[in-house]
Amino acid sequence: VAGRVAVVALNFAAIARTGYRIGVPFPGVYREALNSDAVCYAGNGGGFDGEMQACSVPHMGQLFSVLVDLPPLAGLVLIPCLENSSS
C-alpha cells in the first residue's frame, strides 16, 4: 500500500548530488517528508522542498523514478502522496 512506503536517500559524500535519480515503487506524486539539510534542522536548506512527479523510467530495480537534489552529508525521506494509495 502506497501510504506505508517511505523512500530514503542518504548522501554520505561532502558534495551535493544534483539531478540524482532514485527508484520508487509507485507512479504519482512524492513529497519530501524529511530533509536533514533543512534550515529548521540548522542545515543549509539544500534539496527539494516540496513535491515531485515520478516518471516511468525504471531505476534501482523499481518501475518508476524521481529526480532529486541530494544535499551533501544529508538524508531525504520521500513518501507517496495519499492520492497514490490506490496503487
In this prediction, residue 59 carries a pLDDT of 97
Phi, psi at 74, each rounded to 5° = -145, 170
**SS3 of 4, please?**
helix
In this prediction, residue 49 carries a pLDDT of 63
In this prediction, residue 4 carries a pLDDT of 86
**Full-model pTM:** 0.83
Q: What is the sign, positive or negative, of the torsion defined by CA atoms of 35, 16, 11, 27?
A: positive
Taking 70 as the pLDDT cut, the residues of the chain under it are 1-3, 47-49, 83-87
Phi, psi at 43, each rounded to 5° = -90, -170
Share of the chain above pLDDT 70, in %: 87
In this prediction, residue 1 carries a pLDDT of 53
In this prediction, residue 40 carries a pLDDT of 87
